Amino acid sequence: MSRWSILALLLGLLLVAAPFSKHQLAAASDEYDDDDEDAPSAPKDDDEKDVVVVTVKNWDDTVKKAKFALVEFYAPWCGHCKSLKPHYAKAATILKAAVPDAIIAKVDATVEESLGSKFSVQGYPTLKWFVDGELVSDYGGSRDTEGIVNWVKKKTGPPAVSVEDADKLKSLEADNEVLVLGYFSELKGADYETFKSFASKTEDVAFAETTSAEVAQAAGLEAAGTVAVIKNFPGEAREVAVSSDLSGLEAFVKGEKLPATIEFSQENSGKIFNSGIPKQLILWASPDELAADAEVMSAYRAASKKFKGQLVFVTVNNEGEGSEPVTNFFGLKGASSPVLLGFHMEKNRKYKLSEPLTAASVEAFAASVADGSAQPEYKSQPVPEDPVEEGVTVVVGKSVDSVVMDPTKDVLLEVYAPWCGHCKQLEPTYKKLAKRFKKVSSVVIAKMDGTENEHPSIEVKGFPTIIFFPAGEDKTPIALEGGDRSLKALTKFIKSKAKIPYELPKKSGGAEEAASEKDEL
């Protein structure tokens, strides 16, 4: 599960790169099977006419010779790659005309494995930025057409576009849902340098600058040394927010660059998760309840204005195709709507409003999520009557404290997803491991379904995640790093981390098994 794929679920997510929750939620929405890694590469269609197909053979003649290149490393079976495809193709067409020095390219990393390995590609899609044929950075923008275009323009051009007349401003507004315009008497001085520095570091919105009073007036600016955030969101009236506090420019733009509420979707995931605001409110509701004139939506929008810049207010149509990641991530199958949720990306904490949804309760709940006083909720399946399956102890959220946190046990925990191909490949090895330690009473080999169970002490950034919890009062988790999950590697990992001394029972079966045992130890 890639990072963009977590709330890329959620959404890494509906990822680019972020904490577990963002990735897990995204991963849950993947439309591919991890096992299908040998699927053939799909041919490029007409919509991708401006996307350059790169292989090992033509790398030097394309990326190496380009002044600028944005390269997507993808897999044909990857659900997130499929979702990105139309946005990437449209961005390529726009940028072909707007930035002729840049190429927008793609590499089928399942075929061109050496390229993926060379540039440390570990998930799909991975986008990387090259200048004069040399890798400079990973892509850091949102994964929609506008985000890709703005990011490449920012990387290849000036931090802010100069605007001399109102017609140019109107044209820029037509091309950008959000435009930040700075008005200065002259393009120098401390205020201007503050504006230019912030513009150069901010990649998810477009910036413009002007010394024209006509342009300033069209943007609602009266005095020089002021900044306007001009918003033209689909279905909403043009809105302008103005600030004269250049020292608070970052907070001002962060609070104004999103609409009052934003729909959860693959296209909007970058805006939600790369907004710079780690906390979100999520209204999971029916289409009628999300209607502009609905009482629930009115209360939600009213709260969004009071907590601008502190929370991202997300809506989820629970009858829509894109609702499944959120429904699964928060355990809402069969729930009655509306449901108001809170989510803290950086800490992977989830919250739920437990009382009826009213204007007062929405505002109070939003305040508690914003100030950190809300009590988090964690999913858990029922504790199984017989928790041992073929030697592996089955753990759920409610039994983590009694099993995994038991100070008298060294515990190896695998957090898996039922749909994860890599987890399925690991299963027989993990069962052998449990059998190997069956008579070692101080060691517990355990597993937990990470899609149905959570615990604040367990951080999961992908499936499977393998964590060792050493015996003792300080149960500080130790994650297994690297891709070697063989019986030998797992046995050595336990041996090196266990606090309670033990001896594995000797195998019987001749020289071959004796040699195998020696390797494991």
Residue 220 lies in a domain: yes
Q: pLDDT tens-digit profile of 281-339? A: 999 999 999 999 999 999 999 999 999 999 999 999 999 888 988 998 888 989 999 99
pLDDT tops 50 at residue 114: yes
477 plus 442 within the same structural domain:
yes
As a whole number, the mean pLDDT across the chain is 88
Residue 1 lies in a domain: no
Residue 513 lies in a domain: no
Note the pLDDT of residue 461.
79
Confidence of residue 26 (pLDDT cuts 50, 70, 90): very low
Residue 266 lies in a domain: no
49 plus 120 within the same structural domain:
yes
CA 384, CA 446: separation in Å to the nearest integer? 13
pLDDT tops 70 at residue 41: no
User: Among the three residues 153, 186, 207, which one is the final residue of a domain in this structure?
Assistant: 153
Q: Considering only residues 516 and 120, tell me which one the structure prediction assigns the higher pLDDT.
A: 120
CA 439, CA 74: separation in Å to the nearest integer? 45
236 plus 282 within the same structural domain:
no
Mean pLDDT of 164-169: 96
- Reference 229, options 244, 214, 237, 239; nearest CA is 239
Name 350's bridge partners.
343, 377
Note the pLDDT of residue 459.
86
- Reference 464, options 495, 430, 497; nearest CA is 430
Note the pLDDT of residue 516.
47
Domain that holds residue 248: 158-256
pLDDT tops 50 at residue 356: yes
Note the pLDDT of residue 321.
80
Reduce the DSSP state of residue 48 to 3 states and report it: helix
pLDDT tops 70 at residue 509: no
Give catalytic residue positions: 78, 81, 420, 423
Mean pLDDT of 365-389: 94
Report the side by side order of strands in the sheet with 465-469. Answer: 388-389, 392-394, 443-449, 410-416, 465-469, 478-479
Backbone angles phi, psi at 478, to 5 degrees: -125, 115
Mean pLDDT lowest for which of 31-35, 155-159, 374-378? 31-35
Note the pLDDT of residue 268.
85
Note the pLDDT of residue 31.
32
Query: Residue 332: which CATH number?
Result: 3.40.30.10
Apex CA 208: angle with CA 204 and CA 213, to 5°? Answer: 150
Note the pLDDT of residue 483.
81
Q: What is the pTM of this model?
A: 0.67
Overall number of domains in the chain: 4
Note the pLDDT of residue 520.
47
Q: pLDDT tens-digit profile of 435-474? A: 999 999 999 999 999 989 999 889 887 899 999 999 999 8
Percent of the chain residues topping a pLDDT of 70: 88
Output the six-digit token pair for 435.
């059998």
Confidence of residue 266 (pLDDT cuts 50, 70, 90): confident
361 plus 287 within the same structural domain:
yes
pLDDT tops 60 at residue 21: no
358 plus 296 within the same structural domain:
yes
